[in-house]
A and B are shown apart, each in its own frame.
Chain A
């Protein structure tokens, strides 16, 4: 009713008269009785009476009943563990911090704890899963903004029916849905912060053909729409049914998109693209036999790019930093062909192949084989490739990060039994530069193999012993303490804490060690807490 005074209020009583208001209620006598000596007071008193009348007469609007969440079959985790998780997630009650906590790639944010410890979440969640428990409902809004695929994978089994139901209301949580949410079309048409990719990835899990059809429709109208991240979503549930669509994407303009598409097609053995890649790769590596029947493998690369190769994303000028164009062609081609192909073709075991590499392309071939073995899941070949890089570790490389990247990729895919002894060797004899070991260990998922845990305890002993008498241990080990505190198997936590608790307070110049040791101790204590809680 007060809306009828809007024009007078906005333009002023000097330009607009005060309208007479009739409500046909008991308020009318009140309004009629307002007799002010000027129009301004009359307007104000009328507005005041109407404002109170409207406030007192507020009518609640009807709305249909909402859908209820399906019942959960898994029980919620206990109070103590919930409190630990809550502290990890909400220590600072700021959403931004929570998001950073959930995102391992984001820089650490200050919380009540000395550090985020978000890297411990995968372990806590994995323990929940193995005990057949789910997260308590009130923690769901803290975990559903998770952004990394590693964390999402750990969360999916423990968010329960309620988590999946809740995700159906929030387009930014679409990754957690297990059926097409009501907002799917809106989200697909109005891309918001990349969540369209999440929708596609999510749909690939329960309806791969539907998701591909969604992408096909988009491509039909606008080919430039096929971005790298959308293609990555197709990797989920990849099947021969996707081949024809992906072959079409090879005609797109962006070389990066074509390379990523070729990578997907390479996994679809025996696709036409995979066949082309095999044939091309065969021209790039040759076996020669030297004196005393020594067999060598060498790269033989063309000086100019065959134009037909560009369809798979190869570029005349190369695209990788620190490497010439033919080197790039080799990595992008041989890196998509299973390593088993070379073992069969040259009739040599992998160890002999890596030992027999010669020429100026040894590291490029090794890089390509490492990529290929990881891509095709050739588990049994990974240890030999790790060892080959170990042999090469002292050589100058095209990038300071190459060794770390290769070992990290291998560590992420290798069987624990094979990985353990190699991590132990890395710990016992850390390569230069001193950060290498820590960076590789940081990429190793929890839990570390048992033998790596034992090696860490040996290193910790070597760290604690000199510090106890006021001398500094080798600084390379400073970088392995945090990854170790996160990754060592549960049985190693208690011995590690015992060693750390025996240290006196460290003063300059050892105070930097104190900081690292405090953080490592905090991390181990948190792990001990939730291992004890879930071990009960």
Chain B
């Protein structure tokens, strides 16, 4: 397991914890620091002696301090110590308190784990009360959807020129009504609309296109029972239905592969922070999206990906016509750093063909992960960049500077990992033949 200071920065809930934790990365602060294959531990001298343990494989941690911030500065301190003073950590057997913590975690994990055979755990049949509640829920969503459609029709009847300059509350109010109606997925789409008016000269077309995609979703939801079962899942997911882990494991595809973590992006959606982590299967070449949500800024995401680390894992995909989202059901062995070349597309056209197939199956796919092989970054203007493939065609990059990419490519071909959202390619990382990832 190779940890980097960048990873610690991402893990820390705020700058205060990061700074305090980095100061605690000094060996004099620690008593009996040790390590086993995947766990590091130590006792940190503070107002009291705090016991700190970290499972580097799963990036889980424990600390006996009373801080409400997670991870606390002691966890960050121990991680810093393990990077900067590696030799201070003695290889040893787990002390009693660490062993007890590891056992507790394993027991919890087994309880939460799905049946490895892939069969769903038996669930009791729905009671009449539960069925009634589900009916009420469906009716509420349909009422919310009807109200949304009415609002959108009013918008296009009066003309979109009226929405430019509207305060964010104009969109937020409508989104809140959808949340109340039990359609948080739709609410999120409506909130995102607020960023379009005035954002570019083409904003009326973009806004109309997004409103149109929402209308298609509404139309599909009204006829959801007539749809293909996987498309039913897609539509309900887009509306905002949440599946339990058991439901995912029962209905979705299971794929075991060597998965490498290739990209990560965090976005704010109202009070929520959403983290998208993209994995790529080295044998299957498939991509998988791990989504995590936390409320507020002081909480870290439960799972911190180690970028460019490979681990044999079994992933369970959400049921879908074009499966993207997945959960990690089982991990096997340890995550190992790898700078090898990742499976990817030889040409931009090949990627766009795949994207088109995905959209044909599920028209509401917002983004696709891709590794583009042998592309050259080109700068056209201040923030205007693109990637050119070996056939000579280009894909626009997100509007920001990409100097580091250009510096390392030197005008030669590199592999770029990122998300294509239909308009721009948002690069996460790149790999040169000379330097690896």
Contact = CB atoms under 8 A, between A and B. Distances in A.
Interface of A: 2-3, 5-6, 8-15, 38-41, 43-52, 54-58, 60-69, 87, 93, 112, 137-138, 140-141, 162, 165-166, 169-170
Contact of A48 (B204, B209, B355): B209
B212 A68 contact: no
Give the interface centre of B149, B158, B209, B378 by most chain A CB atoms within 10 Å. Answer: B209
Nearest to B408: A137
A55 B159 contact: no
A140 B401 CA distance: 14
B212 A87 contact: no
Interface stretch (B43-51, B57-65, B388-396): B388-396
Contacts of A65: 376, 388, 392
B250 to A, nearest CB: 30
B407 A58 contact: no
Contacts of A66: 376, 378, 388, 411
Nearest to B8: A112
B392 A44 contact: no
B205 A9 contact: yes
Contacts of A140: 403, 407
B349 interface: yes
Contacts of B149: 41
Give the interface centre of A41, A46, A60 by most chain B CB atoms within 10 Å. Answer: A60
A44 B210 contact: no
A457 B262 CA distance: 50
Interface string B345-363: 0001100100110011001
Given A49-B212, A61-B393, A14 B411 contact: no
Contact of A69 (B162, B388, B411): B411
Contacts of A68: 410-412
Interface of B: 5, 9, 18-19, 22, 149, 152-154, 156-162, 202, 204-205, 207-216, 219, 348-349, 352, 355-356, 359-360, 363, 376, 378-379, 386, 388-389, 392-395, 403-404, 406-408, 410-412, 422, 435
Give the interface centre of B160, B162, B208, B219 by most chain A CB atoms within 10 Å. Answer: B208
Contacts of A40: 152-154, 156-157
A278 to B, nearest CB: 51
B19 A112 contact: yes
Given A44-B211, A140-B407, A63 B216 contact: no
B408 A13 contact: no
A271 B152 CA distance: 80
Given A137-B410, A141-B404, A170-B403, 12 more contacts: A14-B159, A45-B216, A50-B212, A55-B355, A60-B348, A60-B352, A60-B393, A112-B19, A112-B22, A137-B408, A138-B404, A138-B435
A12 B156 CA distance: 5
B211 A47 contact: yes
Given A11-B159, A48-B209, A56-B360, A138 B408 contact: yes
B156 A44 contact: yes
Given A6-B205, A58-B422, A41 B376 contact: no
Contacts, number: 162
Nearest to B365: A55
Contacts of B379: 169
Contacts of A165: 410-411
Contact of B216 (A8, A49, A61): A49
Main secondary structure of the interface of A (DSSP, over half): helix
A201 B308 CA distance: 43
B391 to A, nearest CB: 8
Nearest to A13: B157
Given A69-B411, A165-B410, A48 B157 contact: no
B205 A2 contact: yes
Contacts of B386: 63
A140 B407 CA distance: 7
14 contacts: A2-B208, A13-B157, A40-B153, A44-B212, A47-B212, A48-B216, A57-B356, A60-B389, A63-B378, A63-B392, A137-B408, A138-B404, A138-B407, A166-B406
A87 B348 contact: no
A47 B155 CA distance: 14
A48 B359 contact: no
Given A10-B160, A44-B152, A166-B406, A52 B211 contact: no
Contacts of A56: 355-356, 359-360
A202 to B, nearest CB: 19
A55 B407 contact: no
A87 B386 CA distance: 29
B406 A10 contact: no
A61 B349 CA distance: 11
Contacts of A67: 411
Contact of A50 (B18, B209, B389): B209
Contacts of B376: 65-66
B210 A51 contact: yes
B366 to A, nearest CB: 10
Contacts of A45: 212, 215-216, 219
A87 B6 CA distance: 10
A44 B215 contact: yes
A51 B216 CA distance: 11
A12 B157 contact: yes
A220 to B, nearest CB: 31
Nearest to A8: B156
A508 to B, nearest CB: 19
Contacts of B406: 166, 169
Contact of B158 (A12, A52, A61): A12
Contacts of B5: 87, 112
Contacts of A112: 5, 18-19, 22
Nearest to B420: A58
A64 B392 CA distance: 7
B352 A41 contact: no
B158 A14 contact: yes
Contacts of A10: 159-161, 204
B407 A137 contact: yes
Contact of B422 (A41, A43, A55): A55
B205 A166 contact: no
A47 B435 CA distance: 46
Given A5-B205, A48-B216, A60 B395 contact: yes
Given A52-B216, A60-B348, A47 B159 contact: no
A46 B205 CA distance: 12
A400 to B, nearest CB: 37
Nearest to B211: A44
A47 B208 contact: yes
Contact of B212 (A15, A48, A60, A64): A48
A164 to B, nearest CB: 12
Given A44-B156, A137-B408, A9 B355 contact: no
A10 B22 CA distance: 54
Nearest to B412: A68
A3 B205 contact: yes
Nearest to A15: B159
Contacts of B394: 60-63
B158 A141 contact: no
Given A40-B156, A45-B212, A170-B403, A63 B410 contact: no
Give the interface centre of A15, A63, A68, A93 by most chain B CB atoms within 10 Å. Answer: A63
A2 B203 CA distance: 12
A170 B383 CA distance: 11
A240 to B, nearest CB: 40
Across the A-B interface, give the 5 residue pairs with the lowest CB-CB distance, nearest first: A48-B212, A12-B159, A47-B212, A51-B209, A69-B410
B434 to A, nearest CB: 9
A347 B216 CA distance: 98
B433 to A, nearest CB: 13
A332 B114 CA distance: 86
Contacts of B159: 9-12, 14-15
A2 B411 contact: no
Nearest to A47: B212
B189 to A, nearest CB: 12
B428 to A, nearest CB: 15
